[in-house]
């Protein structure tokens, strides 16, 4: 499964649509964000996706965790949010 990567410049509605589409298709989505702005957009996107999926009868939960990622040879800490139906 692909990870939905969110930046501070990501449109939260577009990310929400991607989350909703992946959950409808695969039953589970993973969202990754690095930095305060990206985490903000990712959090808003999960909330918006919850509304989109409620129309289809899904009630979702999110499970946040930290993960280390390598970006251009440098270790960074990212927030990873697993989103799945309750």
**What pLDDT is attached to residue 1?**
66
Task: Give tens-digit pLDDT for 18-39.
Answer: 999 999 999 999 999 999 999 9
Confidence of residue 14 (pLDDT cuts 50, 70, 90): very high
Residue ranges and CATH numbers for the domains of the chain are 3-85 (3.30.110.20)
**What pLDDT is attached to residue 25?**
93
Task: Give tens-digit pLDDT for 30-83.
Answer: 999 999 999 999 999 999 999 999 999 999 999 999 999 999 999 999 999 999
Structure tokens that stand for 64 in this block = 């946040």
Instruction: Please measure the distance between the N-terminal and C-terminal CA atoms of the chain and give it in whole angstroms.
Output: 19
**Separation of alpha carbons 24 and 15, rounded Å:** 14
């Amino acid at each position: 499964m692909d990870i939905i990567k969110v930046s501070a410049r990501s449109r939260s509605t577009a990310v929400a649509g991607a989350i909703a589409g992946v959950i409808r298709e695969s039953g589970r989505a993973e969202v990754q964000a690095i930095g305060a702005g990206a985490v903000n957009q990712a959090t808003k996107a999960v909330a918006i996706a919850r509304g989109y999926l409620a129309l289809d009868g899904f009630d979702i939960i999110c499970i946040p965790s930290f993960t280390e990622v390598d970006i251009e040879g440098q270790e960074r800490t990212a927030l990873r949010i697993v989103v799945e139906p309750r």
